[in-house]
């Protein structure tokens, strides 16, 4: 018997293990209270981190920020003075120098006052590194151009301290007084002139100083003359013969009556009555 041949078919099956991970949606921690960050909150997939503004550094707590003092290291690169401020720094130069375009080095300035006096009418001052115009005493700087000078009105405020009149001369207040007043020793107050202090102001009898002028008056029995100063005896007989019937004589400005021959003065001292004959 002949031997038989058998064919066996082998089927190979390959199996792959697949891991399927179902993840929850990402939560943006920065939405609530900026994630607790001082400056910026940066959200990442499944987490977040804090970041600071330029000029600040993140503190060990990972949330708050503190200023970086750039001046601590190499003077901030400044040639002269380094000024640190919150979030940055700047360089400054000494008087007479200015900052170069690099913002760090300093170069000497050419005084602007050396060229045409800095354009100033009076005095140019560059002691603070910048040309400024100043005016001589009695003048003030024109606010429009900041260069020219104009005479200051020293009387504009409180009348220059003067009691009465004030005039600005060379930028200074010069006080003067109204007629009848004289300037006091302080050069500001005005005192009334006593016009009667010398020779009674020219008055014969009485003198009264009014507004610095003498006003004359006379004693009883006298009247003021036309010159307003001399006193003349009052002529009591000038009007109606002083009330006398016949004759009147002014004695100490009083009328003294008398009568013509054949008459005698009445009891009133004015009327004249005929004498009674004894025959």
Judgement on whether residues 53 and 76 belong to the same structural domain of the protein: no
**Contacts by residues 162-169 (CB-CB < 8 Å, ≥ 24 positions apart):** 162/188, 163/188, 163/189, 163/190, 164/190
Q: pLDDT of 94-120, one tens digit each?
A: 887 889 999 999 988 777 888 899 899
Left, alpha or beta for 62 (phi > 0: left; psi -120 to 50: alpha)? left
Spatial contact of 204 and 214, defined as CB atoms under 8 Å apart: no
Tens of pLDDT, residue by residue over 40-56, are 999 999 899 999 999 89
Confidence band, pLDDT 50/70/90 cuts, at residue 156? confident
Report if residue 14 sits inside a domain: no
Whether residues 74 and 91 share a domain: the answer is yes
185 and 208, same domain (yes or no): no
Provide the domain limits for residue 164.
156-192
For residues 227 and 198, membership in a common domain is answered with: yes
Q: How confident is the model at residue 6 (pLDDT cuts 50, 70, 90)?
A: very low
Among residues 152, 190, 147, the alpha carbon closest in space to that of 169 is found at 152
Give a yes or no: residue 17 inside a domain: no
CATH (domain of 90): 2.10.25.10
* Position 204 in a domain: yes
pLDDT for position 215:
94
Domain end position, chosen among 14, 44, 67: 67
Residue 75 included in any domain: yes
In a domain, 207, yes or no: yes
Distance CA 215, CA 81 (A): 79
**Per-residue tokens: 93:** 């130069």
3-state DSSP call for residue 67?
strand
Specify the number of domains making up the chain: 6
């Amino acid at each position: 018997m002949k031997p038989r041949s058998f064919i066996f078919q082998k089927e190979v099956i390959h199996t792959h293990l697949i891991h399927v991970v179902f993840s929850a949606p990402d939560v943006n921690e920065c939405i609530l209270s900026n994630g607790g960050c001082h400056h910026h909150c940066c959200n990442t997939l499944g987490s977040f981190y804090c970041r600071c503004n330029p000029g600040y550094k993140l503190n060990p707590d990972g949330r708050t920020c503190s200023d970086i003092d750039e001046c601590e290291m190499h003077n901030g690169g400044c040639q002269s003075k380094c000024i640190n401020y919150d979030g940055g720094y700047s360089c400054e130069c000494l008087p007479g120098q200015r900052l170069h375009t690099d913002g760090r080095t300093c170069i000497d300035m050419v005084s602007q006052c050396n060229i045409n006096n800095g354009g100033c009418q009076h005095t140019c001052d560059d002691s603070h590194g910048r040309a400024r115009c100043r005016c001589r005493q009695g003048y003030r700087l024109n606010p429009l151009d900041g260069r020219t000078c104009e005479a200051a009105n020293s009387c504009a405020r409180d009348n220059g301290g003067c009691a009465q009149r004030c005039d600005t001369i060379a930028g200074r207040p010069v006080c003067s007084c109204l007629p009848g007043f004289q300037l006091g020793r302080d050069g500001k107050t005005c005192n009334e002139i006593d016009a009667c202090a010398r020779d009674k102001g020219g008055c014969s009898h009485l003198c009264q100083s009014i507004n610095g002028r003498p006003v004359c008056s006379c004693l009883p029995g006298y009247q003021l003359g036309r010159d307003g100063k001399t006193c003349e005896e009052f002529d009591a007989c000038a009007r109606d013969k002083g009330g006398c019937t016949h004759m009147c004589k002014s004695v100490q400005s009083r009328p003294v009556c008398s009568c013509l021959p054949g008459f005698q003065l009445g009891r009133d001292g004015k009327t004249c009555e005929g004498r009674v004959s004894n025959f």
